[in-house]
């Protein structure tokens, strides 16, 4: 399947990235409020594509062969390693961007390095995540039975806030 055909089947809420001929991986797109879930799933996808080290700053530039002692084969191998590294960095960046809703994607398109992109997203949205946890906790504490029509509505509101809280909160260690 060609890349333009793949893009045409991506709906507004999910990104499907074909990794093997028989396997499709689908994760929720980053929408600005699901950073914790999205970043965990995206990290797994990047790891599966063998480019997570690039995002974590663990990719190393291939060493230049010693100029005087380098053979033609060593020079070719070095050029191939550099080309592969550039390709992997592009794969990491494009995978992250394709995993974002278009309105957010547009804001980050000018960032050319996958690691910088990942760090900027983490910085921008982890602060929001902490704020959301406190906001959800306050909303949860504010739910009153007398404000609801019946016990079922009361229980549903509490259940929804607990689910929202669990999605936003960091696991305690």
Smallest CA-to-CA distance from 123 within 34, 52, 35 is with 35
As to burial, measured by CB atoms within 10 angstroms (0-12 exposed, 13-18 middle, 19+ buried), residue 92 is buried
Sign of CA dihedral 30, 35, 41, 42: positive
Instruction: Check: pTM over 0.85? Answer yes or no.
Output: no
Q: pLDDT tens for residues 53-78?
A: 988 888 666 566 555 556 766 767 77
Q: pLDDT tens for residues 102-158?
A: 998 999 999 999 999 999 998 888 766 555 677 778 888 888 888 888 899 889 888
Sign of CA dihedral 63, 67, 68, 73: positive
**Average per-residue pLDDT for the chain:** 76
Long-range CB contact pairs, 115-123, < 8 A, 24+: 115/54, 115/55, 115/56, 115/57, 117/93, 118/55, 121/30, 121/35, 121/39, 121/96, 122/35, 122/39
Q: Residues near 107 by Cβ (< 8 Å), separated by ≥ 6?
A: none
Tokens, residue 169:
């909160």
């Amino acid at each position: 399947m060609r890349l333009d055909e793949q893009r045409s089947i991506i709906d507004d809420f999910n990104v499907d990235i074909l990794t093997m001929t028989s396997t499709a991986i689908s994760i929720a797109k980053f929408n600005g409020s699901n950073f914790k879930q999205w970043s965990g799933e995206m990290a797994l996808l990047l790891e599966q594509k063998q480019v997570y080290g690039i995002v974590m700053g663990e990719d190393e530039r291939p060493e230049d062969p010693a100029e005087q002692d380098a053979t033609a084969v060593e020079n070719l191998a070095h050029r191939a390693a550099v080309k592969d590294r550039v390709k992997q960095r592009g794969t990491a960046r494009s995978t992250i961007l394709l995993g974002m809703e278009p309105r957010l994607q547009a804001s980050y398109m000018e960032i050319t390095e996958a690691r910088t992109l990942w760090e900027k997203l983490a910085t921008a949205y982890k602060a929001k995540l902490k704020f959301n946890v406190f906001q959800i906790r306050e909303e949860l504490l504010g739910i009153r039975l007398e404000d609801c029509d019946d016990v079922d509505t009361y229980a549903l509101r509490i259940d929804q806030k607990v689910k929202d809280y669990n999605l936003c909160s960091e696991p305690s260690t």
